[in-house]
Chain A
Amino acid sequence: MIYIENDSTDPFFNFALEYYLITEKNLPEDQIFIFWRTEPTLMVGKYQNTIEEINQNYAKENGIKVVRRITGGGTIYTDMGGWQFSFITRGQSDTIDFSKYISPVIEGLKKLDVPAEFNSRNDLVIQGKKFSGNAQCMLNGYTLHHGSLLFSTDFEQMVKCLTVDDYKIISKGIKSVKERVTNISDHLTKPIDTDTFKKLMVDSIMQGSKEHYQLTDTDLARIKAIAKEKFASWEWNYGKSPKFNITKTGRFDGGKMEFKLDVNKGKITDCHIYGDFFGTMDISVLSNALIGADYEKESIKKAIAQGDIKQGFYNINVDELADIIC
């Protein structure tokens, strides 16, 4: 096993690094280990519906990044008070096994007297509370196993990001499972800081081995390109969501308006509008304008910023409409 030092805290870069190693780099070693962290980020499972899982407005207002993983499972919040670990292993086993990747992590934690154990969802828990979520994918002849470690993560922020506005949504996306969480630092007999924790965990998992690979300028250039084209793109993070149906309701001075939207591959494919609002315009002008737009605020504003829609409703403006729809 070789170790790759990765000081980047950019989630797009860090996921691009994993992806690059799996799909392009083809290092000769059988197993690669990376230990990394991110700025405040919401990481969504590969087949989840992003808007169903996160508080998009809160994330936007607070500069929290949103990125879709290439692995399964639910949504997690990560910040500089936590760590992520990745094992990239050559070969795809026919059967699923999490324990061989998680056991070295449990061993490392035992050295710090942290009583960690597995639960039935392949998460790691201390006294029944989760501090590590794990997920995998099998891609291009490799198995990627990555997991999170909550060390001193801001739970207040976590809860705010993951509390979704109250609206009705129907989709076949994989749903997240809410669990009680805990920080590792609350269970240490001797306090250590996050950097010391990283060093101890890396040393334990690498079993003292200093084998490592240093990313070259060529590697970095490709990884940055993948980060930009794939992991930071709206198409990947929102457009890849499974098709869904969403109902959004707004109450304006001019009346109540309800939107029922079908969204497929990130685009609005059907739209029905109901309510007791007053307007001079046939409502189908608005629904037709919305069909074909990306389910994203700026795209929606652009779609409805037409003269007759702007003036078409009594006491309802375009910005208010866009805020309700998305």
Chain B
Amino acid sequence: MKKNIQMPKLSEQMESGVLASWNKEVGEVVEKGEVLFEIEMDKVVSEVESMESGVLEAVFFEEGDEIKADEIIAVINCD
């Protein structure tokens, strides 16, 4: 099963944030609870943990991109 990973919304006012770094590459195995990526918004850097275990199948943005909250940024294949 494939799961979409969304840009998290860290505050009520948050409209977008910067995808600051990918901690995993496409094709890599991701365990639930591992840090998948980091985002920066309003001078706050946050680690975002994966909610799924599987293989990171696709990423749609690169480091430095500004992304709207809730937008799909990656896909994890959980099979």
Contact = CB atoms under 8 A, between A and B. Distances in A.
Interface of A is mostly: loop
Interface of A: 45-47, 70-74, 92, 94-96, 121-122, 133-139, 171-174, 242-243
B45 A71 contact: yes
Contacts of A72: 20, 40-45
B64 A172 contact: yes
Contacts of A122: 42-43
A214 to B, nearest CB: 30
Interface stretch (B10-18, B23-31, B68-76): B10-18
A173 B43 CA distance: 13
Given A95-B10, A172-B63, A242-B63, A46 B40 contact: yes
A133 B44 CA distance: 12
Given A46-B20, A95-B12, A135-B43, 12 more contacts: A47-B21, A47-B64, A72-B41, A94-B10, A95-B11, A96-B11, A136-B43, A139-B47, A172-B63, A172-B65, A174-B18, A174-B20
13 contacts: A47-B20, A72-B20, A72-B44, A92-B46, A94-B10, A121-B42, A136-B45, A137-B44, A138-B44, A138-B45, A138-B46, A138-B47, A172-B62
A136 B44 contact: yes
Contacts of B41: 72, 96
